[in-house]
A and B are shown apart, each in its own frame.
Chain A
Amino acid sequence: MAMDVVGELVYPTVGLLGLYAFVSLASLVWEGVDRKLVARMQRRIGPPILQPLYDFLKLSSKETIIPSTANFMFTAAPGLALATAIALLAYTPVGFTPILASKGDVMVFIYLLTLIGFFKILGAISSGNPYAKIGAAREATIMVSREPAMMLGIFAIMWRLGKLGVDKPFSMGVFYVHNIWEIGTPMSFVGAVILLYVFTVWLASEIEVGFFNIPDAEEEIAGGLLVEYSGRYLALLKLTNAMKAFISASLVVAIFFPWGISGYLNLTGLSANVVDLLFHTLKVFALLFFVESVFRAVTGRLKITQAVDFLWKNVFLASLVGSLLIAMEVIM
């Protein structure tokens, strides 16, 4: 059987590269917009909107200092983290069904998302810096506390949407076939609102702002995970962080606000995808405005014990309740 080389290999690769170029640019621009907005909220002028882009270019050309205590993983981790983020893009719903969407790809999504954090931890503990080690311990602690609530919620939603009838259950494409608000019962509506709260808090803890700016706490542990990184490695990690924020926000947007506008404009094919991607980016920016900019302007960071308490006792419980409410009429 002859393989359709163009359809199976070339199109996805080109699509992924294009998506990578767009998302890295958009996420860096968002970071600039966020810094500007927060600065205005704090009665400051703030940096130019393209400042993160300038920083990235500047850092790429700066000297890279590698501590004598560091081992091989210190230099490998930033590249691996960025590679993971790029691979993750192929499974991220960005306004249309992901490029490599298949049955059960939600597992890959969660796996790759956690892998980014894992590589960051690996790089930090390989640096030999005590502050980085404290940061790594904090990152690991907060990671195991925030992911269960998200996993429970996303599995419950996907399972419930699968019951409405889809080709590929547990695929990221499900959200563009049915959405959470279509289930229709009052109970499920309440459940969806609770899950929206869960996913918003999860998003804030994933991008580590406000309450959850704990692993990178600048004043406490001098930058934590990033303390020893400089030059192009820092640039790579900063880009990874920005892309991770975009990807995590994309998930929340896809679950709760999946609507596109290409249908209204009678577009098909590539142009529909481009329009949907742009509209999706706008929605991501709007969501991040509330979850990142406003949240970090009106809160300070918690202690790690308080954050873990909050994530388990409040967010995980809410996720449990929301999932049960959504799944209720199918179970009973």
Chain B
Amino acid sequence: MTKVEYWVKMPFGPIHPGLEEPEKFILTLDGERIVDVDVKLGYNLRGIQWIAFRRNYIQIMYLAERMCGICSFSHNHTYTRAVEEAGGIEVPERAEYIRVIIGELERIHSHLLNLGVLAHDIGYDTLLHLTWLAREKVMDTLEAIAGNRVNYSMVTIGGVRRDIDGKKRRIILDMIKYYREVFPGIEDAFLHDPTIEARFRDTAIISKRVAMEQGAVGPTGRGSGIRDDARWSERLGVYPDLGIKPVMPQDVTGERPRGDVFDRMAVRIGELWGSLELIENALDAMPDGKIKTFPKDNILVAKLKLLVDGEGIGRYEAPRGELVHYVRGKKGSDKPLRWKPREPTFPNLFAVAEGVKGDQVADFVVAVASIDPCLSCTDRVAVVQDGKKKILTEKDLLRESIRKTREINSNIKGDPTPVGSSCSR
């Protein structure tokens, strides 16, 4: 007698309380066991690259910053590096140190956020609230330095916009002191709590082989035992002078990396400490001097028009993994011919979709949260139909969505023209 298997396909998303951003997964289930995961991208598309066609180098900096709220500095920074490489622009040393400080502050707030989300996904709301309470301090620090809690606008092509003076330095040192008191409690709660251990250990295991195949980066890759960190392997900026080294799970847990959710979380906890150290070292080693090559933005636009000719690639270790921006420009034009960001979530998402097979439904949301997905960064569209590529504009997308709505329910009446005046592109 053959065994009959009752497999069920269940949609997980696009809107689901366990997902922070709209994204769809089709789970094939055998009871509670996940047999297969189908990742459907594209629910958070805003046409960023298309918008960028109409903007110059300076304007794209603001656009890049607004791709995602959590890694706003990373996108801006990486894009800036790409343009600097394409134009051969030197960055003052003090600016590099300030970039390190802001980048590591952002890493602390991103990792604390992710730890809270992980705890929330197993219903452990106390840890969520306590980690996010701790996160307020770094947000306040960032606000004091940059004037904003989220979009810092600290980086500009050829340097940084604002200096870190004595007062801001004291604020950062205060924050470091606060975190040296708070982090041991957070570390203890996450590494030694029985519920956390029961839920995160041996869940969604991404083996080193799968991680290599799918190109997993950042804490996801390091959790699976890949010793790679763009700040370390690329010898990025002044990071080598500050004693950067990749944080591996064995440094935190003392066990061999297994590639499960617990290891990815442990890497993040290790990086919290690492970031504090980097900030301290950077504050100590920061030389005096100017903070940007071109004092005014109008000079910068004129210079970029002349300088940028060719390609540039910026690489940076964002909190979620290695971020790559590609910029190609032409002499005489004030905007890039091509700008392409490549986000760490994209490979990580497929690695974890592979890793979660065989686990339970309950593990899925934890597994997705464990790569700290930034889906608003990831979603891009290019429709290839019959070998011809075409780009959908806002009008096309609107028309398509109206068509689909009519198809689903023809009774819906209403004026499909958008309310208010849209951006006149």
Contact = CB atoms under 8 A, between A and B. Distances in A.
B23 to A, nearest CB: 15
Interface stretch (B193-201, B271-279, B290-298): B193-201
Interface stretch (B119-127, B160-168, B313-321): B119-127
Interface string A209-232: 011011001111111000000000
Contacts, number: 77
B126 A298 contact: yes
Contact of A303 (B124, B127, B360): B360
A213 B123 contact: yes
Given A211-B195, A223-B17, A306-B198, A300 B8 contact: no
B129 A42 contact: yes
A220 B361 contact: yes
A137 B362 CA distance: 13
A304 B31 CA distance: 12
Nearest to A216: B123
B363 A303 contact: yes
B365 interface: yes
Given A130-B8, A219-B365, A44 B199 contact: no
Given A219-B18, A220-B361, A300 B123 contact: yes
Given A219-B17, A306-B198, A301 B122 contact: yes
A303 B362 contact: yes
B364 interface: yes
A42 B125 contact: yes
B18 A299 contact: no
Contacts of B196: 300
B133 interface: yes
B51 interface: no
Contacts of B11: 130
B18 A303 contact: no
B360 A304 contact: yes
Given A300-B196, A303-B199, A219 B123 contact: yes
B129 A43 contact: yes
A234 to B, nearest CB: 16
Nearest to B119: A300
B17 A218 contact: yes
B195 A219 contact: no
B31 to A, nearest CB: 8
B85 to A, nearest CB: 42
Interface centre among B124, B127, B196 (most CB of A within 10 A): B124
Contact of B123 (A44, A138, A301): A301
Nearest to A300: B124
A108 interface: no
Nearest to A44: B129
B130 interface: yes
Contacts of A73: none
Nearest to B203: A303
A297 interface: yes
Contacts of A300: 119, 122-124, 127, 195-196, 199
Interface in A127-175: 130-131, 134, 137-138
Nearest to A210: B123
A302 interface: yes
Interface in A257-298: 297-298
Contacts of B143: none
A134 B34 CA distance: 13
A26 B235 CA distance: 64
B391 interface: no
B54 interface: no
Nearest to B19: A219
A261 B205 CA distance: 57
A304 B198 CA distance: 12
B16 A222 contact: yes
Nearest to A214: B362
B251 interface: no
A171 to B, nearest CB: 38
A223 B16 CA distance: 10
22 contacts: A41-B126, A43-B133, A130-B8, A137-B31, A137-B32, A210-B123, A213-B123, A219-B123, A219-B365, A220-B121, A222-B16, A222-B18, A223-B17, A297-B126, A300-B122, A300-B124, A301-B123, A301-B199, A302-B195, A303-B199, A304-B360, A306-B198
Interface of B: 8, 10-11, 16-18, 31-32, 119-127, 129-130, 133, 195-196, 198-199, 360-365
Interface of A: 41-44, 130-131, 134, 137-138, 210-211, 213-214, 217-223, 297-306
Given A218-B123, A222-B18, A302-B199, 19 more contacts: A42-B125, A42-B126, A44-B129, A134-B32, A134-B361, A210-B123, A217-B362, A218-B18, A219-B122, A220-B361, A220-B364, A300-B124, A300-B196, A301-B123, A301-B195, A301-B199, A301-B362, A303-B360, A305-B360
Closest 5 CB pairs of A and B: A300-B124, A300-B122, A219-B18, A42-B129, A301-B123
